[in-house]
Structures are given as C-alpha cells and as structure tokens.
Amino acid sequence: MKKTLSNRINSLIIIISILLATIFFVLILNLNGYSQKRELSQINYFLDTLLEQKKEVLANEIFSGQDEAIESTIEEFTANEGILLGEVYSINREKLSFSGEDFNQDKTIDPNELKREASFKLDSIDGRELAVYTSGIVLGEENFGYIRLYYDVAPLKEYSRHTTGIILLLLAIKTLVLILILNIRLNEIVVNPIKKLEQDMSSISDGKFEVGREESQILEIEHMRSAFNHMAQSLKQTQENLESLVNLRTKELTESKRMLSVVIDTIPTPVFYKDSSGKYLGCNSAFAELLGKSKEEIVGKTIFDLMEESYAVPVFEKERQILASPKSQSYEGVFNTIYGVKDVIVNKASIVSDSGEVEGLVAVMSDITYRKEMEREMKYDAKFQELIADISADFISVDGKNIDEKIRSMLKAVSEFFGSERTYICRKAESDIYIDTLDWCGDRAPHAHREKMDESECPCFRDIAKDRSIIVINSLEELPEEAKSEREFLTKFQMKSFMGVPIAPGGNVEGLLGLAMMCSERRWSSKEASLLKVIANVFTDALEKKDIEDKLKKSNKELKRLSETDRLTQLYNRLKTDEVLEYEIVKSSRNRIPFSVILFDIDNFKEINDTYGHSAGDNALLELSKIIRDGLRKTDTLGRWGGEEFIVICPDTGLDGAISAAEKIRMAVESHKFEKVDKVTCSFGVTEFEMPDTKNTIVARADAALYKAKRNGRNRVEFK
C-alpha cells in the first residue's frame, strides 16, 4: 500500500497520543507514591515529637523502677489515634510494660532491632500492615531503655488507594477524550485538507482537475479556521484543567505544610530546621522566644548571624557531621538565650531526600536547666555534708593538746569548700581576742598564724557579740558612713569582702568564724551564710564538748587527788601509800632492785595536843610534813600512815641509804623551831625489802624498829 503524506501524519498523531497518555499515567503514579511517602514521613515525625515530649519522664520512671508509672505513660502513647501498641524495654532489652493490642505477645523480639538510634519501617504482622517505630530512651549521653510503637497504616493506605483510584479513573477518561478530540480535530484541520490536496494534485496529473470551486473552497477554508479555533479552545481548556489540578495539589501541599507548621508551633519545646548550607528554614515560637527574635528575623540566617562565635563554632562543627551524611545526634550543652544561659538536651537528625541526599537537619531542644541546677545543688549539698562529717569526726577526739591543729585543719577544709582567700576563727579569752587565720590568697601556699588583740580592736566580733547575727560585707563601698571602725578593720587586714557568723557555746558569744576575700570582691549568698552558720554550730558544739570534758577531767583529777591525799597534810594517805608499797614490792621482786621503808612518828604528840591544843598539834603536823618533803628525793614517796605516824618509801635504796635519809630528816626536825610548840622530835624505824616480804611483813619490821627507837630514848633512828 502506498504511504501518502496524510497516512504518515495519521501515524504520527497516534504515536503522539500514546506518548501523551503514557506521560499522564507516569505522572499520576509518581504523585501517588509521593503522597504515600509524605504521609509516612508525617507519621514518623509525629511519633518522634510524641517521644521527645515523654522521653525525660520515661527515663526517670525506668531509672527509679516505677512500673505502674511506666504503664500509665505508655497508655498516653496508645491513646493517640492510629497507635495500636506501645512497648517499653529496659536497657537489657527486657520488656517492662506495654499498652494496646498485644499481638506481639508470642513473637520473639530480635535484640538487634532495639537500638539507640530511632528507626521507622513498614512490617506485616498477623496480616496487618503496620509502621513500626523503634528508638532508644536517651537523655544526654545515657540510654535508659527502648520504646516500640506500632502504627496502623491500613486506613491511610485505604484512603490513599481510594483517592488515587478516583483520580486515575477521571484522568484516564479525560486523557482518552482529549486524545480522541485531538485526533478528530487534527483529521479535520490537517489530514483531510492534505488528503484533498493530494486528490487535486492527482487530478492535475491525470488532467481531470476542474476550476470553479471557489465558493466551496472558501467554505472549506472557513471550516479549517473554525476547526483550528475549536482545537485552540480545547487545548486551552486542557491547560486550564491541568493548571487546576496542579493548583489543587499545590493547595493540598500548602495546607499540609501549614498544618505541619501549626503542629510544630504548638510543641512547647524549641524546634528548628535548616537547609544543607546551615541556614534556618524555619522554627517554632518557642525557639524564636528564646532568642528574643521573630521567625522572620531567624529564617535565612546562620547560627553565626544570631549568636556569638564562641558558642556558634562548636555547634556548627556538630551540625557539619549531620549535614555530611545521614545520622542523628543527642547531646547536652548550654544555650545562650535572652533569659540567660540555659542547660539543654539537643536532639538532631538529618533530613534525607528520596534519593538519599542530605537536604538539611531538624532539631528539638529540651530545657534541663532546673534538673541541672538540682543536680549541682545535690552535689553541693553532698559535698557540704561530707565536710560537716569530716569536721565533726575531727572534733570528736579534740583535746587541749591538739585543738590548734584541729582548728587549722577545719579552716583549710572550709576555705577549700567556699573558695575563700582567707578564713578566720576569732576566740575570746577574758578581754583579749585570739585570731587564728588561714591565708589562702592568690597562688600562695596556705599560711596559718595566730595573733592577739584587744576586743575593742575587733569591731566585727563586737557587732556579732552584740546582735548574735551574721555579718555580710560584700564591698567596702557598700558600708555606711557610721561603719567607720569596720572599714578601718577590713582595710587593716586587707580584706575586700567579709562574712562572719557567731560561735556561741552555752549561748554566750565567745568567737566568730569568718571568710574573707583579699584579691577581689565577692557577693556572699544567703545559702553560703547559712552553711557557714552550720559549720560554726559544729565548732560551737565541739567547744562545749571540750569545756564539759575539761571540767569533767578536772573534777575527776580532784576526786582522785582527794581519794589519795590526807586532808590536813596533803600527803599521800594510807590507801595510796599501800598502793605505792605494793608496786615497789612487785618491781623489786621482779628486777631484784632494792628499796627501803622508813616509818616514824612524833615523840610525845599527845602531850602537845593536851598542852597546846589540837590546833597547835595540826599546825605541828603541817610544818613537819613540809620539812620532811623538802628533805626527800623526788623519787621518794611520803605518806601519812595514821595519826602522828608517817611513812617514807625509798625506791632503789638499800638499808644504809635509808638510814642516812632517816637521820637527815631527824636532824632537820630537831633543829626546826615550830610555831607555838617550839621543839618537836621524831623516832624512826628503818628496814630494807627482803624476799619474800609482803606489805604487812615489811611494815611490821619497820614498826618494830620504830618502837625500838622509842624504847631506847626517842629522837633516834633504829633499823631491823
């Protein structure tokens, strides 16, 4: 068959029609796929945002083992439409709680599916198509557990399939109609005239062409013009329909974007997103409020345009990693706001296109300033409790010998805790003030020293003693005119700031504990003043304890002295001399060391009492005690044995030495002129320890020698 020009044009029209139909169908399918991906992306973002709002609550509940609270929190997740099941796992991947339809009950969870990084995938469970969202419950750098959420995508797909089917059917019908109209009109205005032209050319070549068709030709031209106009109108209508479809999809996308913007804006935590160059594409009101700017002032800017370089550089370096390749980040840091520096947790993730290229990033910030302040407060309080425990432990064993050492140790610990450059303890002793100082100024090593001053020279102590209150001086410039003495005191000791609290054992102010800054001024907080007061109370308790212990020791010492001494002569009594005698017997028996005993009494003492009175007799006993005590060695023991009878225990002394000592005493007594009674003499009995002597045998032997002296005329020394 001969292919004419009209046949070729007909074939070309058919091919063009087929291509147009194919392009329309491909475009529709792509639009359908894009719609599904967009909906799934919105679900992923919705679940990300939902978890971010509850992450800190879940982490605290898992950390403290609050199973009921975990179950209540996961129920809040499944209360949202579309979430069929929520599961919470521990850090060891053990299921802690779930809420919703437990269609996962008999299914073993692969531990590798539970990861720190968030993931989102489609899965078919029991014939149902679900979107499975998995993420770690991460705060800062620490992972507390995992969460899995199952979202039913069937309604979404059903709606998308139904909508897409209608659109496909309508567009297919419209495409076929347009192609049919296009074929008809092209045949009328192009193919048919060309066919007629071919016929006329054939007639001319056969010599059968006839002239005289001017009217019909004019009509034919008019028909062609009308056909072209109709085709133009059809093409215009088609263009308008396509524009309407594009506008509809644009409106849907705009509305979807608006809804997403509203959702982001209602999130109370700051959210922002950037393009691949690091410029802000948008943010919510919470983020704009922190910066004190409008959204319009933020969009299109970089972090370097909005913040100081010292803060912007490290943040930019972190964001470069996310923009270089798809990944997520979670870290704690600080954020400069119009309200001051805030502690935050920042969670960032790459925005990835269908082709896998990073197009930007999205970030969510959570304010953890209160939590951090509580952590710092708890650490500070724990450190203070440790300080109090150390100080208390030091002062438990305090005594007069090591009190100064304990004070210096306490001053050092207090200075390190408060960061002061000088620490004082002022203690009153009668009208004087003793100041113990630990100098910690600048880079110098701590230097401890003590000085004494009159109470009038220490106005700070005077003020505290008067009002029993805490003194806080942040700066010399803040002192009023009438505080001249305080200004001079601080200037004299080179203090720029001072804080002092009273030390008041028994309710009486006896000192102060003070902190000072020498190199710079400092504003002391009320909490620091309260803590320093607690330390002063510990020191006060220690002083009270020491005073009580000192009084108790003094009382015990006095009781011991009274129990061992004779009330009149203040010499050892019979009980104590017995104890010394027993000791010397044991020592001599073990070491073969000699010792001797001298037993003596006043001659005719009864006559003294009868003649001069008992008062004169007591005075004679006192004078005799002093004479004998002055004539003995320090190692000798002198005691009143009873009445006018005395005993001397001479350690490391043989019989000859004891006789010599007794004779010396006798002569001293004889030569002494006693008050009232004038002359007094004594008789002495001396003996040396011999094995196996006991206390009774050695005293009996000395007593026998004493009576021998009396029988032989008194005022003499005898031995046995």
- Please identify every residue annotated as catalytic: 644
Helix (H, G, I), strand (E, B) or coil at 399: coil
Helix (H) or strand (E) holding 336: strand 328-337
Cis upstream peptide for 692 (omega within 30°): yes
Instruction: Determine what percent of the chain falls in helix, strand and coil, rounding each to the nearest 5.
Output: 55, 20, 20
189, 158 contact by CB (below 8 A): no
Residue 81 CB contacts under 8 Å (≥ 6 apart), including other chains: none
Cβ atoms of residues 149 and 85 within 8 Å: yes
Residue whose entry in the numeric block shows the structure tokens 């923009």: 323
152 bridge partner residues? 130
Distance from C-alpha of 373 to C-alpha of 377, rounded to nearest angstrom? 6
Question: Which residues are CB-contacts of 343 (< 8 A; sequence separation ≥ 6)?
Answer: 332, 333, 334, 335, 367, 368, 369, 371, 372, 373
Phi, psi dihedral angles at 702 (to 5 degrees): -65, -40
Close Cβ partners of 13 (under 8 Å, ≥ 6 residues apart)? 182, 183, 186, 191
What 355-360 contacts at long range (C-beta under 8 Å, 24+ apart), as own/partner pairs, is 356/326, 358/276, 358/322, 358/323, 358/324, 358/325, 358/326, 359/275, 359/276, 360/273, 360/274, 360/275, 360/276, 360/281, 360/323
Cβ atoms within 10 Å of 507's Cβ, excluding its own: 8
CA 513 – CA 423 distance, rounded (Å): 8
